[in-house]
Structure 1
Amino acid sequence: MRCHCGYDRSGLVVAQTLIEPGQDPATAIALIRQSRSPWALNNQTFEQYLSTGLDVAGLLAGLETRT
């Protein structure tokens, strides 16, 4: 999978694929950057998704803001 530049969205998917069987998020991100580019996964929100877990991030993103 590749996004336009191949740095963020595709890196997010590959990192999540590494994390699911038990890889530490920081190690997965480092592997992506080492293999692809130092600029890969430079989106801080994506890094937070990986650290939090995409399932939890999805739940949090789905919450409505009440005013």
Structure 2
Amino acid sequence: MSTQADHGRELVPRPEQTPEALRSALAVVAPGRLPEMQRTKDEAFAQKALRELSAVLDEAMQTVRT
């Protein structure tokens, strides 16, 4: 999200790479995209949770088989 002016300076400073800082920056430069960001964040968290739950299930199944 580097927005460069003609003079080589950023129009908006690059935010820290944290969800809150990114959300705050997006609220300034493109507030209409906040719902998209939230959906993307929710999907990413859900996929990570599913991978972790699947790993737990795989481990449990392996224990039962042995």
* TM-score interval, normalised by the smaller of the two chains: 0.3 to 0.5
More helix by share: 2
Give the TM-score, by structure 2 length. Answer: 0.33
Give the TM-score, by structure 1 length. Answer: 0.33
Higher Cα radius of gyration: 2
Larger RCO: 1 or 2 (CA < 8 Å, sep 6+): 1
